[in-house]
Structure 1
Amino acid sequence: MSTLVNKLKEKWEALKTENPHLRIRNAAAELGVSEAELLLTNVGDEVTILKPECADILSEVEKLGKVMALTRNEECVHERKGTYLNGDFSSSHALLFVGEDIDLRIFLHHWKFAFAVVEGDRRSIQFFGKDGLALHKIYLTKDSNEEAFDNLVSRFKAENQEEAFVFETAAPKETEKPDSEIDAEGFRKSWLELKDTHEFFMMTRKFGVSRTQALRLAPEGYAKKIDSSKVVNILEDASEKNLPIMIFVGNRGVIQIHTGEIHKTMWHQQWFNVLDPDFNLHLDVTKIAEVWIVKKPTEDGEVTAIEVFNKEGDFIVQIFGKRKPGIPELQEWKDLVADLEK
């Protein structure tokens, strides 16, 4: 272990002594390093470096059985239990897992490092970006296949467990163009001609608009900014009415989706939480800058979303009524959203 890694390990140990319940992501932020750099201080103990063959590793995770998939950004944590089913690795754009429980869109070109982590009786496979930022984690549950985990780690264990990792600085965010430089009329026309919600992202790329800029320039009646507190209202109302919804949370490497009802909701300090047996959500409401009601035309009729952003204009969470292609949006969801607009 290098001198620098040793010094970082000492700092982390001191921090854990001061605050035993401090999570590794918060510890990394406090120490001014990435989470992956902290994991490297425990290689040979709790941590095993895996070969960076992320797609091959993902192709094996179905064998783990029921696990907990965790995807987060700075403001929101999405945890869903289930089995990784129906893996589709055929697309060059995104890998897919499309199961009733584990539902993921994976952008593998952002994935760089993989580790197996054993903390007491907690076992996980963790994936990180080029800058050491955690993108996705898979935790074993009491119903998981531990033998399959051991076999996976053995198969993908990197030969060099003392590798000196090089982390890249995250690419700077693209500067938003002035509204005056956007073909706003063409953009609005293109919006009204949408046939599928998945076309929306490519439309924003075509016209060179950021996501929040797109909402500002939307056709009349298709995007409305609402009070930030109302994202909690929509979740609480959906819970009270047993209304099935879809909750999307992601980062640059993956989008994780929960589809179904939510039940137990509660506050803890600034965090609004969903705490159901197979689905947990943790939303830091103090970091919400904007909330929008967004409507998009599709071949199945209009689709309505609640879109939540941080102060940098990045997605925090997106909420829809439960729907499948070919099926119109639930009227109960439309009514719930309409109540927010009043």
Structure 2
Amino acid sequence: MALDGIPTPEEIRRAEMDNPRTRESDLAGSLGISEAQLVSARVGRSATRLVPDPDGLMAAACALGEVMALTRNRSVVHEKSGTYANYHSGAHAAMVLNDDIDLRIFPKHWRHAFAVEKATEAGVSRSLQVFDAAGDAVHKIFLRDGSNVDKWGIWVDKLRHEDQSETLAVSARAPVEVARSNPDKLDVLRQEWARLTDTHQFLTLTARLRMNRLGAYRIAGVPFVRQLEPDAVKDMLQAVQVAGIGVMVFVGNRGCIQIHSGPIQTLKPTGPWQNVLDTGFNLHLRQDHVAEVWAVDKPTKRGPAVSVEAFDAEGRLIFQIFGVGKDGKDDRPAWRDIVAGLPDLAIETA
């Protein structure tokens, strides 16, 4: 064990060998390190440190053909299969926009990156993995059977970082922002909320009023928000599946938001997990992490944008789900009916 209490790279590799079926994020937590430090211990063996620039990594992703994109936070994993295309670079925000892979990227949080090759029962797994300053996963890209494996080595060489050490220095995790409300500005919040023409205006409004998303939800009241039972998430997923409608499922972290647009067809709850197991789209949600659920209604030029949004006990946003209205088909009215039927939180009174 190193003097600072962090396991040595050799100790980390030994722990991986002793726990081959443990999820990497869970194993890292048990060792008191970040997931990026776990991966870094393999550099020179089965991992290569890369320059963590979104432009270069997205160019590689586009060249690799059909892959699986994975974005997660501590409570939910969002997986989409397809090809990366239509990438738009940006210093503060970038994006990938196509029917399969739909991402919003925040480059300042892309701080560490690796090309990883891992032996599995099904063969060698190859992936590009990106982490933030604290070493937490931001975005991962996994090659599939139909990927352009012949391009893998070319792009690993192109993106290779000059630093190929086994150890990695990470920063402390940023504290979770607690819910911030400003009851003195409630009237202004409600007046300005009613005048919104685009959902993106909402965070600008709350910041101006010295609130944040969850803090505003907690005081806004009907008709803008309704607090739902935490188990309403299960009801919502089942209702979307039965109705056969399309929805937009947003899952993100500080560095990336990943979006699925389409139906939810196959639900398989397992223990605390709510699982969507569809062709091209998988979602794995820790239902026991859901502490608050809100039905939210924001006016836009195209009509009401109704969402269901879940938060954990510390106030982190877990996911947002909206109705879909595009390509001549509008599932938003059916989605609004589903949301209207979800159970409100039962408030105990003396």
TM-score normalised according to structure 1 size: 0.92
CA distance in 2, matches of 1:173, 1:6: 27
Identical amino acids, percent of aligned pairs: 38
Residue 81 of structure 1 deviates from its aligned partner by: 0.3
Distance change >3 Å, CA 112–CA 297, structure 1 → 2: same
Paired with 2:290 and 2:59, the residues of 1 have a C-alpha distance of 35
Other-structure match for 1:153: 156
Q: How many residues align?
A: 338
**TM-score using structure 2 length:** 0.90
Distance apart, 1:129 and its partner CA: 0.4
For 2:327 and 2:310, the matched residues in 1 are separated by: 23
**Equivalence for 1:58:** 58
C-alpha change, 1:307 and 1:325, in structure 2 (3 Å) is: farther
Deviation at residue 29 of structure 1 after TM alignment? 0.8
- CA–CA separation in structure 2 for the residues paired with 1:10 and 1:297: 54
CA contact (8 A) 2:37 2:167 kept: no
1:128 matched to which residue of 2? 131
Structure 1: give runs of 5+ residues left out of the alignment: none
Q: Which residue of 2 aligns with 1:195?
A: 197
Q: Secondary structure at the match of 1:183?
A: helix
Is residue 165 of structure 1 aligned with residue 168 of structure 2? yes
SS of aligned partner of 1:304 = strand
219-228 or 288-297, larger mean C-alpha shift: 219-228
* Cα distance in 2 between the residues matched to 1:283 and 1:26: 16
CA-atom RMSD in angstroms? 2.2
* Aligned equivalent of 2:14: 13
Q: Is the 8 A contact 1:273 1:282 kept in 2?
A: yes
Give the corresponding residue for 1:71: 71
Tell me what 1:243 maps to: 245
Aligned pair in 2 of structure 1 residues 163, 41: CA closer, same or farther (>3 Å)?
Answer: closer
Change (3 A) 1:206 1:270: same
Counterpart of 2:204, as a letter, is M
User: What is the DSSP-based 3-state SS (H/G/I as helix, E as strand, rest coil) of the residue aligned with 1:36?
Assistant: helix
Post-superposition offset of 1:11: 4.7
Superposed CA offset, 1:90-148 (max 9, x none)? x4431010110100000111110110000021100000101111100000011110112
Q: Which secondary structure does the structure 2 equivalent of 1:43 belong to? A: coil
Q: How many angstroms apart in 2 are the aligned matches of 1:129 and 1:326?
A: 39
TM superposition shift of 1:232: 1.3
Structure 2 unpaired stretches of 5+: 345-350
Supply the distance in 2 between the matched residues of 1:55 and 1:163 (Cα, whole angstroms).
25
Alignment partner, residue 33 of structure 1: 33
Deviations 1:192-232 (A, max 9, x none): 11001111122222112122111122253110001111111
Aligned to 2:114, the other structure's residue is in SS state strand
After TM superposition, the structure 1 stretch with the greater mean CA deviation from structure 2, 331-340 or 304-313, is 331-340
Measured after TM superposition, the shift of residue 325 of structure 1 is 10
Question: Whole-Å Cα distance in 2 between the matches of residues 92 and 203 of structure 1?
Answer: 23
Cα 1:113–1:11 shift into 2, 3 Å:
closer
Partner SS state of residue 267, structure 1: coil
What letter is aligned with 1:333? W
1:277 maps onto 2:287 in alignment = no
Query: Aligned partners of 1:201 and 1:97: how far apart in 2?
Result: 22
